[in-house]
Each structure stands twice: as C-alpha cells, then as structure tokens.
Structure 1
Amino acid sequence: MTQSASPRGATVRPNDSLWRNRNFVLLWLGQGAGTLGPQVALIAMPLLALEALNATAFQVSLLTFLGWLPYLLFSLPAGVIADRVDQRRLMIACDLCRMLLMLSIPAVTLLDGLSLGYLYAVISLSGVLTVLFTVAYRSQLPKLVSRAQLVDGNGKLGVSERLAELSGPAIGGALAGLIGAARALYANALALVLSATTLWLIKVPKSESTGSTRVSFKAAMGEGLTFVRREPILRKLLLCTSVCNFFVMASVSIQVTFMARELHGSESAIGLVFTAGAVGGVLAGVFAHRIAVRVGTARIIWMSMLLPGPLYFLMPLATSGWGLAMYGVGLAAMSANSTLFNTASLSYRQMVCPPELLSRVSSVYLWIAYGVVPLGSLFGGALATGAGLRTALWVCVLGMWSASLFVVFSPLRKMRDVPIPDRAHAT
C-alpha cells in the first residue's frame, strides 16, 4: 500500500482515519464553532436591522457589502502577515476580538444606542478580523495531515461547515423569536470562544521560516499573484469561483428580505429554510472523498458546478406557506455544489502550492473571489430595489449557473483527475 510522509515526518497511510488525529479533530470542531456563530448572525443581523431600525432592502444589503469589503481591501497584505507571524495565535486573537464586537451589539441595544451606523461599523471591523483569520486558517490543514489525506480532510471540514449551516440559521431564527435578534448574537460570541479554545489546544508542528521574510512586503504580495498567474488550472478555478460568488452573494444579500416580505415567512420558518438548504452540503461533504475517487478529481470540479444548476430556479419560483420549501431545495443544491467544488479546488490548491506560498496564494483567491462579494451584495440590493426581489433572484440564479462555463469549457473537461506536481508538500 502506498504511504506518504506526514507533516511531522511520520509514515501515514492514505486510508488512515483522520478521526484518530487529535489535531484534525480539534480543527474540525473549531471550524464548526467558527462557522456556527456567523450563521446565527446571518439571520439575527438582518432581522435586527429590519425590525428594530426599519431598514430598507438596500440598507440590509449594505450589511453584507461591508462584511465582505475587507476581502477586497485587505486580503493581499493579510496573506503576507499570516506568513510572517504565528498563525495559530493570530487566529485566536481574531476570534476573541470578534467575540467582543458581537457582545457590544446587545449592550448598545440595551442602552438604546443602536443605529445602522453602529451595525455597519461592527460588521466592517469583524470583516477585517475575518480576513486575517481565514487566510491563516486555509494554511492549517496541510500542516496537520498528509498530502494523501487532503481531499478527505477538506471534505470533513466541509461537513463541519455545513452542519453549522444546518443548525445555525434555525438557532438564529428561534433565538430571534424568543429573546430578540440582538440577544441572539450571544450565541455568535459563544461560538467564537469555542473556536478560540480548540485552536489553543491544537499543537501545530514548527515549520521552517519562509522566504517571505527575506523580501519586501510589496514583493511578498506579488509572489502569490505570480504563482496563480502561471498556473492555468488555478486561473480557471479562480474565474469560476469569482463569477459564482458575485451572483451567490447578490442573492444572499436579499434572500432574508425576500422570504420575510415577499413570501411572508416568520423568523423560525426562515431559519428552517436555511437549515433544510444546508442538508445538501452535509451529504455532499460526507461523500466528497468517495465521489472524487469514483468520478475523478477533475470531473467532479466541473460536474459539481454544472449539474445542480436547474434546481437553483426553485428559489425565485418559491411561494408563501409550504412553498417556502422550494427555496430550501434550491439552497440545498447550491450547498452541495459549494461543498463538492470547494473540496476539490481547495485540495488541488493546497497540493500544488509550496508551503511557504500557501497563505499568499490563498490571499489572492480571497482578494479576487471574495473581493467581488461586496460588489455582488450591492448589485443584489440595487437590482431588488429597481426591479423587484423576485426578478433580482432570477438574475442571480442564472448568473450562478453561468459560472460553470469556465470549468466546463476548459482542459478539466477532458481529464479524469487533475495532474498534481510531484512535490513534497509539508515543510
């Protein structure tokens, strides 16, 4: 049986269970906790703006815009910072600072000082911290598992994320209905504490110093861009992800408003729709490794983008009452697509990137693929204001499906598996 070196230099069989890896289990739990909090806020923050501040659809979409804007502004420098500092301590600090920001909202609400401006400020600062956290986080898995286990590891992390998406909106909707949208953010703060605790318990192997410290800050940022530009498959994946993210976030920025005002859904019903939608991602994550082995690591990339597309149309077709379930089915298709595509594309990126460049290459993806997100949010809010919520959703789902063209009409379509350079992955 083929064996490969682990990050610690020990021999690891590709079929060894990751559940026996203490560090991976802690990362898995931390990923779930770190995702659960924002999923609660995904429901609580728009509801707080709608109910307590009587915000318009466009004003609510600005919450999403400001939350994602830091990816456009700070991703590249964040990649260099993450390569030059202790990444685990950086992530813990980001978790704790975000916790304090979330706790400030119910406190300010209690003092009758809440305003849209304050919500926008909290979202913006949390976004900067999230960028730093995400860039560092994307470099952790290759340090904790062998290269042969990356697809399996990313699939399991995808399950953790989808489980949080499965329960988070339901918790957020239920808490908002029981104790109010502002107090529901206590759950977000608690989840961030759990995330920081698991990160503190992880024992990351010491790595050699990277080359980013031997060049200027500006030159270090350019090295990540150069690597992505020279890798043709990375370029195709980046284009596909960026276009899809633009239209996905355009829909995300208006979906709570659409279900609340157009479909007259209650807080708990909206939470259940998001929960039902996450089921597709959970199932896809559970079987991601098996599907990739059977279908092929190249085929699964373009098939996961192309095949679920027709189900997206159920979202703008949704109606009131039980018709809300149609929106949940469309979200489930989106969630399955996201898990399979992200697992395959992220594993490929982790395999081909030299360890000393991984944070900076990840920052390039965040800069472009996530940098379009605030633009998509503004687009969704503006389109919904001018053309109506349902029309805006039709444009969004058609745009999401069109992103598949970048990978369908690419060399990936003629390949079964993505060729991986024979390069030692771990430092």
Structure 2
Amino acid sequence: MPLSSFAVSDSGRRAPSSPWRDGDFRRLWVGQTVSQLGEQTSLVVLPLLAVLTLDAGAGQLGALRAAGQAPILLLSLFVGAWVDRWRTRTVMVLTDAGRALALGAAAVTGLLGWLGLPELLVVAVAVGALSVFFDMAYQASLVRLVERDQLVRGNSALEGSRSAAQIGGPALGGALVSLLSAPIAVASSAVFFALSFLSIRRMGRRESVPERPEGPPRLWRRIQEGLRFVAGDALLRTVCLASAAFQFFFAAAMTVYLLFLPRDLHLSGTAIGFALAATGPGALLGSLLAARLPRRFGYGPVLVSAAALGDGVFLFVPVLHGAPAVTVPALSALNFVFGTFSQLVNVTVMAVRQTVTPDGMQGRVAATINFVGMGMTPLGSLLGGFLAQAWGTHTSLLVTAAGMLLSPALMALSPLARLGPQGAHVANDA
C-alpha cells in the first residue's frame, strides 16, 4: 500500500464519532480490562512465587518466563490465520474460560501441597497459549465493531484498560504473594479471567458467519499471504523489526529486573508490586496523549521520540541503591515514565497497523507482527537469565537496557519516521 494512502481517519477532516455508543464495544472494554488485570497479576505472581517461595535461580526464572512466552513464537501465525475465519467473541469467551480453569487448577494443586516449579511451567505454557488466541481475537474484534474513524479512540480506550490493569495488577500480585498463600495468589488471576468471560459473553452482535476452515495447505497459503503483505509494506515491515528488537531486549531486561529488585535492592513482594504498578498511571497518561499528539505533531516523530524516551529510562535502573525508602520512589518514577511513552508507542503503532491493513487481513497481520516481535521474548528471557548468571545483575541490566534503544533507532531510519499527521506528504515508496 502506498504510504501516501495512509491517513488515520480522525485526523481532522471531521469530528470522529465515539465508539462508546456501541454497547458491544463497552462490553469488550470491560472484558479486556479485567482480563488484563488477571494477566498483569499472573505476570507478577508466577515469577515472584518462583523466586521468593521456590527459591528459583536466574536460569530457572528465565526458563519459567520463556515457557509462558514460547506460545507467541510457536502459535501466532497459525492463530492469526485461524481467527480471521472465526467469530472473535467465541474465541475470546473460550480462551477466558480456559485461562480461568488453568489457574484454578493450579490453585487447587497448591492447596494440596503439590505446587512446584514444574507445575508453574505447565500453567505458564497453558495461559500463554490461550492468551495468544485472546489477543489476536480482540484486536480483530475492534475492527469489526467500530468504524475506521473510531480506531484511534477505540484503541486508546482498550489500551487505557491495559493501563488500569497495570495500576492494580502488579501491586495486587505482589501483595498476594507476600501476605497470602501461593494458591490464593494464583486463584486471584483466575477470578479476573472468569469476570472477563462473563462480560464478553454478553456481546450480542452477530458477526458474519466465517468461511469453513480450510485444510493444512490452504492454511499455510493464508499464513504466507500475511507474511508477504507485512514484508511488502514499508510501515508494517518497520513495525515488525522495531518490535522484535524491543521485545527481545525488554524480555531479557525484565528477567534480570525481577532478580535485581528482591536480591540486590532487597525489596519485598509488596514493594516490588507497588513500584511496578507505577507503570499503570503512566500508561493511562500515554493512552490519553496518543489520542492527540500524533495528529498534532505527526505519527512518525511521536513514535521515534516516545520510543527513545521510554526505553532510555531503563539505563538508570542499574545505578539505584540504598534503602527501600529511596529506591521504591525512584523505581516508581522510572516506571511511570516508561509506562507513559511505551503506551504512547503502543496505541500509535496499533492505529497505523489497523489503518493500512484490509479487514480480511487484520488477524494475519496482527499475528505476523506478534510472531516477529513478541516471538523474540522467550529467547530474550533465556538470554536475561544467562547474562545474570554470567555477568551479574548490574552489568546485565545495563547491557539489555542499552539494547532496547535499537528499536527507536530502526524507526528513525525508516519511512515510519516521516509519517505526518495524515501521512499524505510521505513519499510514495512502499
């Protein structure tokens, strides 16, 4: 698609309508909010449970995080092609139920005294696999629910729900691990997924009946179409490469980070949860900024500058030291800045992707970008565990944080950096 044809519809020619007028969109938003709260809680509960309760080492923590992220690499392309031919509501409802059952089973296992690292690995894989289905479906669902001129506002609202989850999820997860039993901490996430199931199940709009799923040869052909479409579009190709660079080094940095906080800074689970929760208010601010800044300053300049600022703050983490009264506020401030600018990037990139992608390709394009980008996270998590063992947490954090800056560098060197408020002035070079 020519770059000159890119124009996010609510860029000023007329006042965009509001997606909130659609009852199904509101139900999707509620379901997404509590689903993200369950996911954010589990992302803190499972690693902290392994480190603080099961005394997992750096390599074991890296393996646990990689196990939960591996389904992104293994399943994204197939799920994207599959979701394009199924009702998204059905997919989201089934995956919410599956995640609730998986975590509920883990809670029961813990009550029986059988919860250990192998069981956590199984739960992480199951929840990670089902999350791939949910994420692909909800992204495709938004395009089917709202008009094109509502996409930025719709994405801002949905990403705002992620922000709300980031406010409460980490703090809740850290407190549950510190104050309550492990089974209750795990069960809390199951409750949120059950609430998401109930909300999304109430969506009443009937989507058009999809075509009957094809056999394996046709499925592979559809996957290849998605890969070719992304590879042939300059904007989407850049999004893929920048996402891969960021996700790889961010996953490595987070593995080291979750070791650095309790073992080097001697923070409790509650303090860690409080510091991580500061990402949420920042992300909420980033969602609000995403509805205004790209249309004023241009999509490209906002993406490059926000990515550089958000990723760059991680360079300050390794120098922190001292009592929790000093380190926790400093960590909270850094996480707030990171949350603000990373969310601004997330919402803006999603609007670009959804706008340049035809409706019938939404699932496959999302899956391709997910596969290339998020698919790097298990490898990054393993690298983080290896580096922490070999070099220690301070050096490893510095190296992985510096690596995250490769993402804005790739954006700055691409046509994406020249994308203005409407994109019409960009050279027709895609």
TM-score w.r.t. the length of structure 2 is 0.90
1:177-208 Cα deviation digits (max 9, x unpaired): 22123311222011101111121112345236
- Matches of 2:292 and 2:334 in 1, distance apart? 24
- Matches of 2:402 and 2:344 in 1, distance apart? 20
Question: Which residue is equivalent to 2:40?
Answer: 39
Residues 314, 329 of structure 1: 8 Å contact kept? no
Q: How does 1:375-394 map to 2 (within 5 A)?
A: 375-394=379-398
Question: Which residue is equivalent to 1:372?
Answer: 376
Residues 99, 192 of structure 1: 8 Å contact kept? yes
SS in 2 for 1:139: helix
Question: Which residue is equivalent to 2:349?
Answer: 345
- Matches of 1:88 and 1:47 in 2, distance apart? 33
- CA-CA distance at 1:212 after TM superposition: 7.6
Question: Which residue is equivalent to 1:234?
Answer: 236
Structure 2: which 5+ runs fail to align? 1-7, 425-430
SS in 2 for 1:328: helix
- CA-CA distance at 1:210 after TM superposition: 5.9
1:386-406 Cα deviation digits (max 9, x unpaired): 101111111121111221111
Q: How does 1:147-166 map to 2 (within 5 A)?
A: 147-166=148-167
- CA-CA distance at 1:103 after TM superposition: 1.0
Give the direction of change, closer, same or farther, for the CA distance of 1:218–1:267 in structure 2 (3 Å limit). same
1:139-170 Cα deviation digits (max 9, x unpaired): 01111111111111111211110110111111
- Matches of 2:171 and 2:254 in 1, distance apart? 16
- Matches of 1:308 and 1:104 in 2, distance apart? 37
Give 2:276's aligned amino acid.
F
- CA-CA distance at 1:282 after TM superposition: 1.1
Residues 32, 160 of structure 1: 8 Å contact kept? yes
- Matches of 1:418 and 1:402 in 2, distance apart? 26
Moved more, 241-250 or 201-210: 201-210
Structure showing greater relative contact order (alpha-carbon pairs closer than 8 Å, 6 or more residues apart): 2
SS in 2 for 1:319: coil
Give the direction of change, closer, same or farther, for the CA distance of 1:50–1:145 in structure 2 (3 Å limit). same
Residues 239, 369 of structure 2: 8 Å contact kept? no
Question: Which residue is equivalent to 2:408?
Answer: 404
SS in 1 for 2:320: coil
Question: Which residue is equivalent to 1:354?
Answer: 358
Q: Does 1:63 align with 2:54?
A: no
Q: How does 1:9-408 map to 2 (within 5 A)?
A: 14-207=15-208, 209=210, 213=214, 216-320=218-322, 321=324, 322-408=326-412
Provide the alpha-carbon RMSD of the alignment: 2.2
- CA-CA distance at 1:70 after TM superposition: 0.7
Give 1:63's aligned amino acid.
L
- Matches of 1:58 and 1:104 in 2, distance apart? 26
- Matches of 1:415 and 1:159 in 2, distance apart? 24
Moved more, 336-345 or 207-216: 207-216
After TM superposition, which residue ranges in structure 1, 4 or more long, deviate above 6 angstroms?
none
SS in 1 for 2:208: coil
TM-score w.r.t. the length of structure 1 is 0.91
1:221-255 Cα deviation digits (max 9, x unpaired): 11100110110111011111110011111122232
Give the direction of change, closer, same or farther, for the CA distance of 1:61–1:204 in structure 2 (3 Å limit). farther
Give the direction of change, closer, same or farther, for the CA distance of 1:308–1:54 in structure 2 (3 Å limit). closer
Give the direction of change, closer, same or farther, for the CA distance of 1:329–1:211 in structure 2 (3 Å limit). farther
Residues 289, 344 of structure 2: 8 Å contact kept? no
Residues 31, 160 of structure 1: 8 Å contact kept? yes
Percentage of matched positions with identical amino acids: 32
- Matches of 2:127 and 2:210 in 1, distance apart? 29
- Matches of 1:284 and 1:118 in 2, distance apart? 36
- Matches of 2:310 and 2:359 in 1, distance apart? 34
Give 2:131's aligned amino acid.
T
1:73-93 Cα deviation digits (max 9, x unpaired): 111111122122222111111
Give 2:345's aligned amino acid.
F
Q: Does 1:414 align with 2:415?
A: no
- Matches of 1:254 and 1:307 in 2, distance apart? 21
SS in 2 for 1:406: helix
- Matches of 1:227 and 1:388 in 2, distance apart? 42
Residues 84, 213 of structure 1: 8 Å contact kept? no
- Matches of 1:357 and 1:414 in 2, distance apart? 25
- Matches of 1:167 and 1:63 in 2, distance apart? 23
- Matches of 1:127 and 1:308 in 2, distance apart? 26
SS in 2 for 1:16: coil
Residues 87, 209 of structure 2: 8 Å contact kept? no
Structure 1: which 5+ runs fail to align? 6-12, 421-427
- Matches of 1:417 and 1:316 in 2, distance apart? 37
- Matches of 2:116 and 2:176 in 1, distance apart? 21
SS in 1 for 2:351: helix
Aligned length: 412
- CA-CA distance at 1:375 after TM superposition: 0.4
Residues 75, 367 of structure 1: 8 Å contact kept? yes
- CA-CA distance at 1:266 after TM superposition: 1.0
